[in-house]
Amino acid sequence: MVALLGAAAFAAYGAGAASAQALEAIKSRGKIIVGIQGSNPPFGFIDSAGKNDGYDADIAKLFAEKLGVQIEFVPMVSQDRIPALQTGKVDILFATMAMTEERAKAIQYSIPYAANAATVVAAKDTDIKGPEDLKKVTVGVQKASSQEGELKKLLPDSTILRFDDDSSTIQALLSGQVDAIGANQFYIARLEGLKPGVYENKFELAVTYNGAGTKQGDVAINTEVNTFLEELKANGKLAELYQKWMKLPLPEFPDSVPGVPFTTQ
C-alpha cells in the first residue's frame, strides 16, 4: 500500500513537473529553440543574408522578446517538425503547422494565428477541373504537409509523388516530373515569378488554420503562447504582420477546429 501511494505521488509530481518543463528550461538557459520551415515563404524561409525570416519568424521573435530570452531557429522540412518537438530538439514549433486531427494526437496546438488555403496547381493547359481529373495525371506534394493529407483523402489508391520541401515540390512541376501539385496559397505567386503565365490554381482542397505546436501535457508553455497570441491580436500587431507578409487582412479565426484542442486538456 505504501509503495502504491508512493508511486501515485511520484506520478502526480512528475505530471506537474512536466507541465512546466519547457518554459522552465527556456528561462533557465536564457534561450528559446524554435522549429521553423526554411523554404516556405512568406511563412518561414532563409533570406539572402542567411537568416531566418518570414511571418512565423517575426512572431517567434516577439514571443522570445516577451519571455525575455534569446532565440535560436532550427529550420526543418515538414516531416521533421513533430519528431523534433517530441524528442526535445526544439521547444516550440512556429512552422506553418496546419491544424489537423491527426497531428493533434501528437502535439498540442495553440489558438490559430494564420490561415492557409490548400489548392491543386497545374499548367493552364492541363485539363483538371476537379478531383476526378487527378486520377489521369501524376500528382506531387510535399511530404507530411496538410496538402498531402487532403490529397490522400481524394486519391487513396493513386500514386502520389512526395518531395522533401516546398521548393523541390515546385521544381518537380516546373521540370515536368509531375503534372500537378498540392499547393498552399502562395505557390502560384512563386510559380508566376519563375515561369509567368503558365500555371494556375485548379481547385481548392481545404482551408486550414495554423497554430504553434508544443508538447502535449505541457500546460505552462501552452498557456503562455496562447496569452501571447491573444495579446498580439488585441494590440493590432498580428494584423500588422499579416498585412506585411501575406498582403491580406487578418482573417477571422474559428473558436474551435474539430478534433483539435487549443488548450492542454
Q: Enumerate the β-bridge partners of residue 114.
A: 210
Q: What is the pLDDT of residue 121?
A: 98
State the first-to-last Cα distance of the chain, in angstroms, to the nearest integer.
29
What is the CB neighbour count within 10 angstroms for residue 265? 7
Q: How confident is the model at residue 17 (pLDDT cuts 50, 70, 90)?
A: very low
Burial state string for 1-20 with b = 16 or more CB within 10 A and e = fewer than 16? eeeeeeeeeeeeeeeeeebe
Q: Report helix, strand or coil for 135.
A: helix
What span, in angstroms and rounded, lies between the C-alpha atoms of 42 and 57?
A: 10
- Going along the chain from its start, the domains and CATH numbers come out as 2-115+210-246 (3.40.190.10), 117-207 (3.40.190.10)
Is 123's pLDDT higher than 80? yes
What span, in angstroms and rounded, lies between the C-alpha atoms of 195 and 186?
A: 15
Is 222's pLDDT higher than 80? yes
Q: What is the pLDDT of residue 7?
A: 37
- Who has greater pLDDT, 103 or 15? 103
Q: What is the pLDDT of residue 157?
A: 80
Q: How confident is the model at residue 13 (pLDDT cuts 50, 70, 90)?
A: very low
Is 241's pLDDT higher than 50? yes
Query: What is the percent of the chain where pLDDT is above 70?
Result: 92
Q: What is the pLDDT of residue 265?
A: 78
Convert the pLDDT of each residue in 81-117 to its tens digit.
999 999 999 999 999 999 999 999 999 999 999 999 9
Residue labelled with grid coordinates 519547457: 22
Convert the pLDDT of each residue in 132-151 to its tens digit.
999 999 999 999 999 999 99
Q: How far is CA 2 from the centre of its chain?
A: 46
For the ranges 59-73, 155-169, 192-206, the lowest mean pLDDT is seen at 155-169
Whole-model pTM: value is: 0.84
Is 6's pLDDT higher than 80? no
Convert the pLDDT of each residue in 37-63 to its tens digit.
999 999 999 999 999 999 999 999 999
Q: Are 209 and 99 in contact (CB under 8 A)?
A: yes
Q: Are 116 and 146 in contact (CB under 8 A)?
A: yes
In degrees rounded to 5, what are phi and psi of residue 66? -60, -40
DSSP category for residue 168: H
Q: How confident is the model at residue 227 (pLDDT cuts 50, 70, 90)?
A: very high
Average pLDDT, the chain: 92
